C-alpha cells in the first residue's frame, strides 16, 4: 500500500515556520514528508531540513520524497518525536530556527488495515506507531483490568459509556481474546445503547482513540517535549504544533501559555521570587479554511498552535 497522506494546514504551517531560508528546521512527525517537503522547498543551499519519524513505512516513503530532491540539505532519522533532542545532539546541532509537530495518526495509518488503527477496516488489534514497540492494542484490550480500561476510555476518549464498554470488553474476552478491530467494534456497539448510537460520530471512535493514545503514550510525552523544543530554538525561532482533539490541544495551549508567562509564583506574593522569565511571545492558533475542510473532512478538527521564542 502506497504511503498517502494529505498534509493539513500546509501553506499556513510553511508560511509561519520558515523565517531564515538558510536556517535549520526540524519536522518531528515527518510521516510521508508532506509538511517536510513544503518546508524544504523554501530553503536555500545553506539550509537544513531534518525529518524525524518512528514509523518504518513513513521513513521509507519520506526518504524517497525528501532526500536529494531539494537545493537545501535534507536528513531523515528514525526516532520517537520525544527523542528529537538526542537526534540533534548526534548530528552536532545545538540551536535550530524552527520545529514542527503534526500530532495524531496519519491517513496512511488509518487506511492501512493491517496497522489496526481504524474501526472502519478489519485488521489485527495493533495501533503501534512504532512497530518495534512491545505494547499493542491487543494487550491493552485483553490484559488491562476492567477498571483500568474504563479509566483510559473515559480519560483519553472522553467517552460517557466508558464503564459499560469496559464491562462488555471484560465479558467478551472471557469467552476468547479479542484479536481484530471488527471484533472490538462489535463489542463496543453492543455496549452502547441503541439510542445513543444514532447521533454523533461512529460509536467506536472515542474508544479507539483512547486505546491508541494509551498504546503510544501520546499525551504523556507532550508537555516535556514542548519544553525541550522551545529550549532548542534560537531567539526568534518558531514552533508549530497541529492538534486534532481537545486533550492534546489543551496540553499544547497550557504549555505555551505557561512558557509565555514565565513567573510561577503564587498570585498573593507582592514580587516574583521564582526568577522564571517568559520564553515565548506571540502564541496563537489557526484552523483550516472551509475549502480545506470540504476537500479533506479529516481536517475538520485540526488546529495549528504556534509560538515564537523570545
Q: What is the pLDDT of residues 216-265, one digit of tens each?
A: 999 999 999 999 999 999 999 999 999 999 999 999 999 999 999 988 89
Q: What is the pLDDT of residue 200?
A: 80
State the Cα–Cα distance between residues 275 and 277, nearest whole angstrom. 6
Residue 24 parent element (H or E): strand 24-27
- In what side-by-side order are the strands of the sheet with 48-53? 73-78, 48-53, 24-27, 96-102, 233-243, 303-309, 280-286
State the Cα–Cα distance between residues 101 and 119, nearest whole angstrom. 25
Provide the b/e sequence for 37-57 (b: ≥16 CB within 10 Å): bbbbebbeeebbbbbbbbbeb
Cell (9 digits) for 196: 445513543
Per-residue pLDDT, averaged over 203-208, amounts to: 97
Residue 87 parent element (H or E): helix 84-90
From 241, 248, 237, 221, select the one nearest 279 (Cα to Cα): 237
Q: What is the pLDDT of residue 197?
A: 87
Q: Do 39 and 100 form a contact (C-beta atoms < 8 A)?
A: yes
pLDDT at 4 > cutoff 80: no
The residue assigned the cell 465479558 is 171
Instruction: Enter the DSSP assignment of 284.
Output: E
From 110, 54, 50, select the one nearest 78 (Cα to Cα): 54
Q: Do 46 and 40 form a contact (C-beta atoms < 8 A)?
A: no
* CA-atom Rg of the chain in angstroms: 21
Instruction: Enter the DSSP assignment of 67.
Output: T
State the Cα–Cα distance between residues 182 and 170, nearest whole angstrom. 16
Query: Residues 139, 106, 182, 192: is their CA dihedral positive or negative?
Result: positive
The domain covering 114-216 belongs, at the CATH homologous superfamily level, to Putative methyltransferase TM0872, insert domain (1.10.150.170)
Q: Where are the domains of the chain?
A: 10-104+219-309, 114-216
Classified as helix, coil or strand, 246 is helix
Query: What pairs with residue 25 in β-bridges?
Result: 49, 98
Q: What is the pLDDT of residue 1?
A: 61
CATH number of the 10-104+219-309 domain: 3.40.50.150
Q: Do 28 and 101 form a contact (C-beta atoms < 8 A)?
A: yes
The residue assigned the cell 460520530 is 201
CB atoms inside a 10 Å sphere around CB 195: 7
Average pLDDT value over all residues in the chain:
95
What is the end-to-end Cα distance of the chain in Å, rounded? 44
The widest CA-to-CA distance across the chain, in whole angstroms, is 64
State the Cα–Cα distance between residues 188 and 190, nearest whole angstrom. 5
State the Cα–Cα distance between residues 111 and 119, nearest whole angstrom. 10
State the Cα–Cα distance between residues 276 and 286, nearest whole angstrom. 28
Q: What is the pLDDT of residue 128?
A: 97
Q: What is the pLDDT of residue 238?
A: 98
pLDDT tens digit sequence for 48-81: 999 999 999 999 999 999 999 999 999 999 999 9
Per-residue pLDDT, averaged over 140-169, amounts to: 98
Amino acid at each position: 500500500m502506497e504511503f498517502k497522506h494529505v498534509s493539513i494546514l500546509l501553506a499556513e504551517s510553511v508560511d509561519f515556520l520558515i523565517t531564515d531560508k538558510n536556517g535549520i528546521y526540524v519536522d518531528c512527525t515527518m510521516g510521508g514528508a508532506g509538511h517536510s517537503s513544503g518546508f524544504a522547498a523554501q530553503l536555500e543551499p545553506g539550509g537544513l531540513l531534518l525529518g524525524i519519524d518512528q514509523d518504518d513505512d513513513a521513513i521509507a516513503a519520506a526518504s524517497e520524497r525528501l532526500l536529494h530532491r531539494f537545493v537545501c540539505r535534507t536528513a531523515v532519522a528514525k526516532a520517537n518525536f520525544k527523542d528529537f533532542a538526542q537526534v540533534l545532539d548526534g548530528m552536532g546541532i545545538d540551536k535550530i530556527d524552527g520545529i514542527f509537530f503534526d500530532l495524531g495518526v496519519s491517513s496512511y495509518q488509518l487506511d492501512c488495515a493491517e496497522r489496526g488503527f481504524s474501526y472502519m477496516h478489519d485488521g489485527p488489534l495493533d495501533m503501534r506507531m512504532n512497530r518495534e514497540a512491545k505494547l499493542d492494542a491487543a494487550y491493552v484490550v485483553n490484559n488491562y483490568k476492567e477498571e483500568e480500561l474504563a479509566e483510559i476510555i473515559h480519560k483519553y476518549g472522553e467517552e460517557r459509556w466508558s464503564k459499560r464498554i469496559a464491562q462488555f470488553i471484560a465479558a467478551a474476552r472471557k469467552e476468547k481474546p479479542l484479536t481484530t478491530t471488527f471484533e472490538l467494534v462489535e463489542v463496543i456497539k453492543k455496549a452502547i445503547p441503541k439510542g445513543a448510537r444514532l447521533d454523533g460520530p461512529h460509536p467506536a471512535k472515542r474508544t479507539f482513540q483512547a486505546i491508541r493514545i494509551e498504546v503510544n503514550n501520546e499525551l504523556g510525552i507532550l508537555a516535556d517535549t514542548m519544553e525541550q523544543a522551545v529550549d532548542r530554538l534560537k531567539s526568534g525561532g518558531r514552533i508549530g504544533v497541529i492538534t486534532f482533539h481537545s486533550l492534546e490541544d489543551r496540553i499544547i495551549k497550557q504549555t505555551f501559555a505557561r512558557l509565555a508567562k514565565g513567573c510561577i509564583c503564587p498570585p498573593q506574593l507582592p514580587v516574583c521570587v521564582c526568577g522564571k522569565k517568559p520564553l515565548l511571545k506571540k502564541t496563537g492558533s489557526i484552523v483550516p479554511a472551509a475549502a480545506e475542510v470540504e476537500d479533506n473532512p479529516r481536517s475538520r478538527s485540526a488546529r495549528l498552535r504556534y509560538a515564537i521564542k523570545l
